[in-house]
Each structure stands twice: as C-alpha cells, then as structure tokens.
Chain A
Amino acid sequence: MQRRGFLRCGAYCGLIGVAGSLVAAEGWQNPPRLQRPDPASDEGGLWAFLDREEARLKRSRFLLRDGPLNHYVSGVACRLAGDHCPDTRVYLVRSPFFNASMAPNGMMQVWTGLLLRMANEAQLAAVLGHELGHYLARHGVEQLRDAKARSAFGQFLGMAFGAAGVGAAGSLAQLALLGGSFAYSREHEREADRIGQELMLAAGYPPLEASTVWGQLFAELKAEEDWAGDAGTRSILFASHPDPEERSLAMAQNAATMGGSNADTGSEALAQQLRGHRREWLEDELRRRKSGETIALLQRLLAQSDNGELRFFLAETYRLRAAAGDSERALAAYGEAEARAGFPPELYRSRAMLQRQAGDEKAARESFQRYLSLRPDGDDVEMIRGYLREGS
C-alpha cells in the first residue's frame, strides 16, 4: 500500500509503543455513577451549560423523533453503559456527517451520517462505546482545564511579543487562541478506543468490528483524496477523528487479545431499523458533494446488499460530479439499477437528462415519458412536459 503524506511517520512506527501499552493495560472497570457536580465548579458550569444545550436540542428541528429508531439506538447504548444506562440519553440528529458525541452530563448525540455508515449493530456499538469511554473517563472536563491553562500562557506570550513589537498583540492573539482547536488529545482518543472495545465485549459484541469502522472511514477518506487530490487533512470526517488507519490497526491488535470474535455482528437487526430512513439520508449525503467518500460508501453498502436504490444513488453521484467520463458511468449505473428491485422512478428523469446531453434525443424522450407515467402528479410535471416540448 502506498504511503500517503498525511500518515506522517506511518502507522507502524507508533503502533509498537501503542501495542505494548495495550497488552499491558488492565481491563476497564466502570466507575460508579457520576454525580452532578457543584454548580460553582468549572465542571458544574459546563454541566449546566450542557443541560441548556440539551433543552435546546429537545426542541430542535433537526432532531429525529422516530420512536422505533430512537428506541433501538438507546437500547444499544443502554446495554453498553451498564450501570450508567439511567444517566445516558441518546439523541438522533439529522446531519450527513460521521459524528457521534457524548457530553459530560450524559447527553449522547448520533448523527444520521454515522448511522448510514454502520454495516451492523456491532459497529454502532463500537462508536457508542467509544463515546461512552470519553464520558466514563471524564475527558471533557480535563480538556476544559487544559485549554484554560494553555491559553492563558499563550496570551501572555502574545502580549509580551506585542509589547516588544513582534506580531499581533492583545486582542488579536486572544482571538487566535479562541479560534484554535480543542481536540481531544491523542491519549484521550486511545483511551476511549480501549474502553469502547471493553464495553463491546462485556455487552456481547465482537470487538474487532470497532477496527472495521475505522478501516471503512479510512477507505472513504483515501477515496476522496484519490479523487480530489487533497491530503484530506481538512475533511470534516478526518478533522475530528485523526489517524483512522492507525487506530484501526491498533484496535484490531487489541481485539485479537480480547476474544469474543464469534459474537454476532447483528447486521440484519440494523438493516431493518434503517430501512425506512436510508433514502433521505443518502439524499443528504449527495448534497455534501464529496463524491470520493460517497462512492466509497455506496460501493461498500452495495457489497452488503446489491439493490436498485443503492445503484441509483451511485449513478446520481456520478451525474452530479459531472467530471470527464461521468456521464457514461452514470448511464451505466442507471442501467444496472433498473435491472434490480428498489430503484425510484426518478431514475428515468435523471437518465433522460444525461441522454439528452449526450445527444440521444429519442432515448431521452422515452425516459422522460416513462418518468411522467410513473409520477403523473409530481411537482415537476410541467417542467418535464417543457423538456419534451423542447426536444420536438
């Protein structure tokens, strides 16, 4: 495998040290249930702020209120959280990015972009377990304290430089610091990975699936980098989850020492739950216009279940990307979608547009007519009729 610049030293360099510490690590023990902190403390301040955020989230237009889906995801989180289940509240948010988070007050968010990318229930458990890891090990508060300590020092430096006439001083330095990222440290991320896998094992999931999650993410990022020619360091996916390849390897290593490899991954259970939502989430995914990642995602989903709907979305990705050769790729993919069950009638509309652009007027008309017959009450009926008039 070709090394890419953004992997820096290379996963293997760091792995030896990591693997060493993993093998030596003791099994994770859940702490007792976390108590509400004194409101006057910094943790208390954070907690109450988050309580207000949670109240806002409850009213949010972006919250998914689907009963069965919420129940299902909460169920997985609960199994992982054990004694902490009563303190854990799960919210599903409509957003096409791969993200989940858990706040120090027990509020957990899972974004639809992440749900879309889960191949099975065990992978979902891996992500939720990782977030529970941050919560149980109290990483959030450590981070706040660390940030305050670092930035006070930084501002002092800024002021000192400013007074000496060097660079931006005072408020600009302050702003620069405020704008800096407060990412969880690498140590925090590794610890959460470890705890997550322990929680998976305890709840009856195969810990190796955690490694697969990151491997899949890495493949998406690599595909985007291959397409966009960018190191991908500024990808939203990448920014909040550094070094997915390294972590994938580390977690595979860890899983090998843990057992539980025969446990059921629960792929059918998850597929059933997501069935009614996937189309909307794929439409959101298309809108991101990150074709490299989207194509990698769709190809992975197709490997699990080759159906007309997924083929249609693959075709749409090519059509919207509109790079050299994409029109042909899209038309081929529409053809494959049509040969399978589950494709939406919009296939004919999209295909017609490409056929017209390719100069195949007869085929375009047929496709438009086909679409009209399947969606006689569509809100774009007049426009389609207009297209048909154009061609004649």
Chain B
Amino acid sequence: MVFRCDVVLHAEPGTGYREEALGKLVKRSRTGLVCRFWLMAFFLCLPIAAAAQARLAEGFSRLPQGALVTLMPLDIELYSISAGGVVEPQAEWTAKAHANLWEAFLTRQSALEVNFKPLPDDADEVIQRLNRLHGAVGLAISGFDLPTKEGRLDWSLGDEAIAIRNQTGADYALFSYVRDSYASSERAAMMVLGALLGVGLQGGMQVGYASLVELSTGRIVWFNRLLRARGDLRELDKARESADALLAKFPE
C-alpha cells in the first residue's frame, strides 16, 4: 500500500507518462513531491505536539494474552536526498530497513506475549485488494480531520478482512508504512553552506504509520502516526528505536 494522490476531485496527469526507468523514478519523486505535499498538509494539520500520535478504537484497550498478529508486508522506502535535491531510492538502505524493522517487530518484548507472524509471500487476490484498501484507509485516517468522527478512531476494512485470518490463523494484522529520507553527505555540506547564507534546507524526514486491524470485524483498533525529522532505520539498534516509535502505545 502506497500513498497516492487522488485525493482531490480530478487528479492531474501533469506529471507525464514517461515510464522510462529514470523517468519513473523522477515521476515518483515528482508525484511523490505532490503526494508529499498532501501528506505534509495532512500531517501538519495536527497539533504540533503530536509528532507521534496513537489512537485506539472505542471499546478496545488491549490485545488479548497470546494474541497472534499477522505482519502484513512492510511498505518501506528509504531515500537519500542529494545535494541538488534529487530524491534517490537507496536499495541497500531499504533492504536493511526492511530487515531491521522486521527484526525489531519480531523480537519485541511483549508483556502479553503477542506473537507476530509474517504473512506468507504469495498474496492472493483478496489480500491484495485488502492491502490496497488499507492504503486508502491509512490515508483517510491520517488526513483531514472529519468532524463527524468526533476524534474517534472509527474505520474498518469490512467483512473481507476475515480472509487474512483464514490464510494465517491470526486474529489481528499489523500494517506499517514508512517513508524515510536522509540527507547525503553532499547535502549535509549544502545545509551547512545554506545555514551560512541564511537559507534553510530540508535534511530528511521520517513519515509513517502503523495500524492494527481486528480481523474478525475488519475494524482498525489501533493506529499510530509518525512524523518527525529524525530516526534511522539503517542500523538495527536505531531501527529498534524507530520501531518503538511506530509502535508507541501499542496495545499489548
């Protein structure tokens, strides 16, 4: 599940249809930029204090003892921002981040002995559909405040969520999404130069969420949003910190 931009009425295809390798990269960072705008718009429309904010659905406070939670495929991308602002995906970092976050989730000290179990790799049609739906749900939850919700966490994936339970035997599923950008060393140098000239440059951001779904009902029972200018997924110990931040106030 990837954040996309069709939040306004008619998404403009102005980013162009070039699908050449590099074109796609830039297109994604260009749409990514517009997406990042909306993302940031959403995230910034919150009290500044809520850099990470965990929410619980009504009537849900904790996972039951020994609960089995399916880890949905982690949606993580790590980027470096070169001196000129070219956003470049970093394969090695992303692979490490995957491994680290996975490891961090799986080896969490859990008071309730919650077990995390990864989803088997060959996702079928229904699971893919639920994954896509969850992407939109995550965006909706993180997005503009909806007055009718009255601050409640009140979203669901619907009846179809039971398909995940059928496949895995788990009672809950954890979705997580992280986009992380890091300033390359050239950029760091530029930032220093910029500071001297009195110009601010963005150094990198960590944006993401984690979401716990109760599979028998499809309800999102816990949701944590993350937005901050620090964090590092590339080394295991630092990744644990990010995992902890993602799972802040996890109901275990």
A touches B (Cβ under 8 A):
yes
Q: Are A152 and B83 in contact, CB atoms less than 8 angstroms apart?
A: yes
Nearest neighbor of B199 in chain A, beta-carbon distance? A170
A49–B186 alpha-carbon span in the complex (Å): 22
8 A-B interface contacts by CB (under 8 A): A49-B89, A103-B21, A152-B190, A159-B199, A162-B199, A170-B200, A177-B85, A183-B23
Q: Are B82 and A148 in contact, CB atoms less than 8 angstroms apart?
A: yes
Q: Which residues of B contact A148 (CB under 8 A)?
A: 82-84, 86, 88
Q: Are B88 and A171 in contact, CB atoms less than 8 angstroms apart?
A: no
Interface: B18 (CB within 8 A): yes
Q: Are A171 and B22 in contact, CB atoms less than 8 angstroms apart?
A: no
Nearest 3 pairs of A and B residues by beta carbon: A48-B91, A151-B84, A103-B21
Q: Which of A97, A163, A240 contacts B197 (CB 8 A)?
A: A163
Q: Which residues of A contact B120 (CB under 8 A)?
A: none
Interface: A40 (CB within 8 A): yes
Q: Which residues of B contact A22 (CB under 8 A)?
A: none
Beyond A101-B19, A134-B20, is A47–B91 a contact (Cβ under 8 Å)? yes
Q: Are B84 and A109 in contact, CB atoms less than 8 angstroms apart?
A: no
A173–B16 alpha-carbon span in the complex (Å): 21
Interface of A is mostly: helix
Of the candidates A148, A177, A239, the one having the most CB atoms from chain B within 10 angstroms of its own CB is A148
Chain B residues 35-90 with CB under 8 Å of chain A are 82-90
Q: Are B84 and A99 in contact, CB atoms less than 8 angstroms apart?
A: no
Q: Which of B22, B33, B91 contacts A39 (CB 8 A)?
A: B91
Interface size class of A (residues with CB under 8 A): 35 or more
Interface: B29 (CB within 8 A): yes
Q: Which residues of B contact A95 (CB under 8 A)?
A: 17
Q: Are B197 and A162 in contact, CB atoms less than 8 angstroms apart?
A: yes
Q: Which of A154, A155, A159, A182 contacts B23 (CB 8 A)?
A: A182
Chain B residues 164-194 with CB under 8 Å of chain A are 186, 190, 193-194
Interface: B95 (CB within 8 A): yes
Chain B residues 198-215 with CB under 8 Å of chain A are 198-202
Interface: B236 (CB within 8 A): no
Q: Which of A45, A47, A97, A154 contacts B84 (CB 8 A)?
A: A154
Nearest neighbor of A51 in chain B, beta-carbon distance? B91
Mark the stretch among A75-83, A139-147, A253-261, A264-272 that contacts chain B: A139-147
A159–B85 alpha-carbon span in the complex (Å): 12
Interface: A175 (CB within 8 A): yes
Nearest neighbor of B83 in chain A, beta-carbon distance? A152
Q: Which residues of A contact B24 (CB under 8 A)?
A: 50, 53, 101, 103
Chain A residues 91-119 with CB under 8 Å of chain B are 93, 95, 97, 99, 101-105, 109, 111
Instruction: Tell me the minimal C-beta distance from B41 to chain A in angstroms.
Output: 15
A153–B85 alpha-carbon span in the complex (Å): 11
Q: Are A45 and B90 in contact, CB atoms less than 8 angstroms apart?
A: yes
Query: Told that A59-B128, A101-B21, A159-B193 touch, could you supply 16 new A-B pairs with CB distance under 8 A?
Result: A45-B89, A46-B91, A50-B24, A99-B19, A101-B24, A105-B21, A148-B84, A148-B86, A151-B83, A152-B186, A159-B197, A162-B199, A174-B84, A177-B85, A183-B18, A239-B18
Q: Are A240 and B87 in contact, CB atoms less than 8 angstroms apart?
A: no
Interface: A387 (CB within 8 A): no
Q: Which of A105, A171, A178 contacts B29 (CB 8 A)?
A: A178
Q: Which residues of B contact A335 (CB under 8 A)?
A: none
Nearest neighbor of A40 in chain B, beta-carbon distance? B92
Interface: B133 (CB within 8 A): no
A95–B16 alpha-carbon span in the complex (Å): 13
Q: Which residues of A contact B25 (CB under 8 A)?
A: 46, 49, 144
Q: Mark B85-106, 1 if CB is under 8 A from A, else 0.
A: 1111111101100000000000
Q: Are A177 and B84 in contact, CB atoms less than 8 angstroms apart?
A: yes
Of the candidates B24, B25, B89, B90, the one having the most CB atoms from chain A within 10 angstroms of its own CB is B25
Chain B residues 218-244 with CB under 8 Å of chain A are none
Interface: A280 (CB within 8 A): no
Q: Are B83 and A155 in contact, CB atoms less than 8 angstroms apart?
A: yes
Q: Which residues of B contact A153 (CB under 8 A)?
A: 84
Q: Mark A164-208, 1 if CB is under 8 A from B, else 0.
A: 000001110011011101111000000000000000000000000
Instruction: Tell me the minimal C-beta distance from B16 to chain A in angstroms.
Output: 6
Of the candidates B18, B82, B90, the one having the most CB atoms from chain A within 10 angstroms of its own CB is B18
A47–B94 alpha-carbon span in the complex (Å): 12
A156–B94 alpha-carbon span in the complex (Å): 29
Beyond A178-B30, A182-B22, is A49–B84 a contact (Cβ under 8 Å)? no
A50–B33 alpha-carbon span in the complex (Å): 19
Q: Which of B85, B92, B197, B201 contacts A178 (CB 8 A)?
A: B85
A79–B21 alpha-carbon span in the complex (Å): 22
Interface: B153 (CB within 8 A): no
Q: Which residues of A contact B190 (CB under 8 A)?
A: 152, 155-156, 159
Q: Are B85 and A155 in contact, CB atoms less than 8 angstroms apart?
A: yes
Q: Which of A49, A56, A109, A179 contacts B19 (CB 8 A)?
A: A109
